[in-house]
Structure 1
Amino acid sequence: MKHLPSLQISAPAPRGHGIVRRTLLGSVVAGALAPALAWAQGSDKPLRMVLPVSAGSGVDGVARVIAPSLGKALGRPAVVENYPGAGGITGTSMIVKAPRDGSVLGMVSNNHVVNPSVFKNIPYDAVDDITPITMIGATPFVLVAHPSVAARNVRELVALAKAQPGALNYGSSGNGTILHLAAEMFVHEAQVDIKHIPYRGMGPLTADVLGGQIQMAFIAIAVAAPHVKAGALRAIGLSSSTRSPLLPELPTIAEQGLPQYVLDGWVAVVGPAGLPKAEVERAYQGVRSAVAVPEVRDALLAQGYQLNSPPPDATAAFFRTEVGRMAKLVKQAGLKLD
């Protein structure tokens, strides 16, 4: 809180002017306290955490783990709001149009930087129309196969695919999603021909690879690990640059002969463009505090996340780099814009 301006009070005024003096003094004090009072009153207003994904998704799981501690760190309750649709464009549009007062933050993932290369008409700029706050962390994807597939590692899978061009298939969570690009990146790096079968979300995708309706897919490690450990799915390789504690014996795809293959799933906190620096810093420190809470940290680690909260300027640079990187992947995959 700023110090009140010093008040020069002269000798008592003649009777009859006391009311005027008290009114003027009260106005000065009220004016000086106004910013602090406004913040104190606003602190009861919930922080809206807008998610451009459905409830039960990976990003939603992260948000609901963090929300209570983030609200506590910022001195206001945090409410998670899901606005799925149009590949994330519906919810992100709400973030972009939100008040620039720190009362609304968004949580986005890889699809935010993929969409500019997949959709022709997006009502916002993925970089210029948001204020990046920080990352939460990154988590690997796992290339899994149904046990009926005669391959136990990347080398065997590549050999099988080259021996039977076009005979194998993989599923994804939808055209243009990060799981689609993860598979297409593998196809490109391995120089194989594998058929794509798109689904509407990771849930149906996982169900069908478990049931053998499709042969393989990239899915989140938190989803894959229990099925791999139970023997219901076979893990072929990890998408990240390092191994994961969730499946410590599983080699990365890069380790298995495709050294350029590295792709993580990530989650970041953003606000609308033009968010004041003070609000950006407050939100950044709030996220850092929330993630540092032991229960929150442990829950995120259990989901396979490697935690990292870079400052806003570094996060903004990351977003710009990822937009270009994803554009290259989309072009390699030969995806047509919708």
Structure 2
Amino acid sequence: MHTILPPMTRRAVLGFGACAAAAAACPALAQGSDKPIRFILPISAGSGVDAIVRAASVALGKAFGQPVVIENLPGAGGITGTSVLVKAAPDGLTLGMVSNNHVINPAVYKKMPFDAIGDVTPISVVGATPLVLVVNPKLPAKNVKELVALLRAKPEGYNYASSGNGTIIHLAGEMFMDEAGVKARHIPYKGTGPMVTDMIAGQVEMGVVALPAVQPHLRSGALRAIGLCGPARSPAAPDIPTIAEQGLPNYAVEGWFAVIGPPKMQAADVQRVHDAVAAAFTSAEVREAMDKQGNIIKPTSPEQALSYFRSEAARYAALVKKANVVLE
């Protein structure tokens, strides 16, 4: 498992100067302000969570009173990057943003290098992002009914992509096939970026992806939306109907994202990080960006985050068992 950090890029230090300048104005949050906050994203650039954190990067720097450096460490459904996080010092200077995959992995992988709940410090489930089922526009299907008819006429004659085996994107696709009573070949990728690239190129016909990650491609016509996966339409894309309202009423899944820290963080550091994250994501400029992406922001307390992690882990364990997804 590779844990070598990539070289720092200009993109990775987005907002560095603005955040450094803000440190002097935020003395209450500027503990260790000469050191940057290292924000590990255990997912690829171009994913929904990546878009969310980068949209909030400057506000996070202001709220912390410290520079924020974002590092993408994708691989193994998030395990690669999180393995780095769990070994970091519990001083509040190394944090991570994880998604559903974090609590799905224990049910998917036979062996885990860490305890997904016991070896991290849940700080806040920040919000949720809509998932959307999309297809390459060459596929002659414009809605759920037409897609299901296509798949039934040619069982396993089409491919659906995911960002990796056992990820929430994979399970969302499996759940759709199960609810619709159809089959398609699963093609796993190493991250959302390459998956979307190949869907646009027509190498794979369809896949579920976070709405923020594909909004530009939907607007340009490079991809076509079949339906939103969540229980309700998104204000960011009101014209896209849900899959549930198109004849699969029991289908509902959406992505959530949460801030975590290494294990054994002190209560004061947990509270400091929680308050800074909540301040950043509820600021006017970030709320505007999140509204455009279609994300719902409702930061929870650390206690609520821990409880949510446990309940979601149990929920996805049942789904994984039903889908029979097991990885080495």
Q: TM-score, normalised by structure 2?
A: 0.84
- C-alpha change, 1:134 and 1:40, in structure 2 (3 Å) is closer
Match among 103, 114, 117 for residue 113 of structure 1: 103
Alignment check: 8 A CA contact 2:59 2:283 kept: yes
Single out whichever of 95-104 and 179-188 deviates more from structure 2.
95-104
CA–CA distance in 1 between the matches of 2:140 and 2:309? 39
Question: Is residue 176 of structure 2 the alignment partner of residue 203 of structure 1?
Answer: no
- C-alpha change, 1:86 and 1:168, in structure 2 (3 Å) is closer
Match of 2:132 in 1: 142
Residue deviations 1:118-144, cap 9 Å, x none? 222212111111111112221111111
Amino acid at match of 2:293: Q
Match among 137, 148, 151 for residue 158 of structure 1: 148
Residue deviations 1:205-238, cap 9 Å, x none? 2222222222211122123333333333321110
User: Residue 225 of structure 2: SS of its match in structure 1?
Assistant: strand
Deviation of the 1:243 alpha carbon: 0.6
Match of 1:17 in 2: none
User: Residue 62 of structure 1: SS of its match in structure 2?
Assistant: helix
Matches within 5 A, 1:58-207: 58-207=48-197
CA–CA distance in 2 between the matches of 1:224 and 1:61? 10
Deviation of the 1:319 alpha carbon: 0.9
Matches within 5 A, 1:1-338: 42-338=32-328
Residue deviations 1:227-286, cap 9 Å, x none? 333333321110111111232111111112222211112211011222222221111111
CA–CA distance in 2 between the matches of 1:49 and 1:267? 14
Amino acid at match of 2:285: E
CA–CA distance in 2 between the matches of 1:40 and 1:255? 48
Unaligned runs of 5+ in 2: 1-26
Deviation of the 1:56 alpha carbon: 4.0
Alignment check: 8 A CA contact 2:46 2:213 kept: no
Deviation of the 1:53 alpha carbon: 2.5
Residue deviations 1:87-142, cap 9 Å, x none? 32222122212222222221111221121122222121111111111122211111
Alignment check: 8 A CA contact 1:225 1:246 kept: no
CA–CA distance in 2 between the matches of 1:254 and 1:41? 48
Select the structure of larger CA radius of gyration.
Answer: 1
Deviation of the 1:41 alpha carbon: 6.5
RMSD over aligned Cα atoms: 2.2
**Count of equivalent residues:** 301
User: Residue 161 of structure 2: SS of its match in structure 1?
Assistant: strand
User: Residue 42 of structure 1: SS of its match in structure 2?
Assistant: coil
CA–CA distance in 2 between the matches of 1:103 and 1:196? 39
Q: TM-score, normalised by structure 1?
A: 0.82
Residue deviations 1:259-318, cap 9 Å, x none? 221111221101122222222111111111111222222222222211110111111111
Residue deviations 1:5-27, cap 9 Å, x none? xxxxxxxxxxxxxxxxxxxxxxx
